[in-house]
Amino acid sequence: MRVDFDSIKPIYLQIAEAIEDDIIVGRLPEGSPAYSQLILSKELGVNPATAAKGINVLVQDGLLIKERGKSMIVAAGARTRIVSGRQRNGLHSLVSNLVREAQKIELPKEDVLSMVSEYYSQNSQNGSIGHAGKGAAQ
């Protein structure tokens, strides 16, 4: 897990998205203990309150469950809900921005589709998703 300290996206949101990524790829299976704010803050080099804020975003969304006296756990159905939400919201926004930019610079549709296909194939072969920047939490 990484955060980009130079990004305009707040660090706590990067942390929340990185935890979601770990849930999606199975590093944090449903029902398993999630990362603690202290571990995240130390490994990412951020304030514990920032790490807690990222975690709390996922608690509010029902993706992580706080159990008194126990570690935080990944909620049942979390992966499906994350994937569905990203398909419904985030991906549509990215595609919309991509199409607008391609049209502005008069890039033919076929070239855009070819680039998307090429990047999709490259990333499928790598099997990697990640976040650029400092630090890592496992």
Domain segments of the chain: what residues? 11-126
pLDDT in tens, 37-90: 999 999 999 999 999 999 999 999 999 998 777 789 999 999 999 999 988 887
Q: Are 65 and 72 in contact (CB under 8 A)?
A: yes
Read off the pTM: 0.71
Q: Locate 121 and state its tokens.
A: 């194939």
Q: At what angle do helices 109-126 and 91-104 cross, to 10 degrees?
A: 140
Q: Are 67 and 73 in contact (CB under 8 A)?
A: yes
Pairing of strands 64-65, 73-74: antiparallel
Triad 22, 51, 62: Cα angle to 5°: 60
- Enter the CATH code of domain 11-126: 1.10.10.10
Q: Give the H/E segment covering residue 102.
A: helix 91-104
pLDDT in tens, 23-47: 999 999 999 999 999 999 999 999 9
Torsion of CA 48, 80, 127, 101, to 10 degrees: -90
Residue with tokens 């496992």: 138
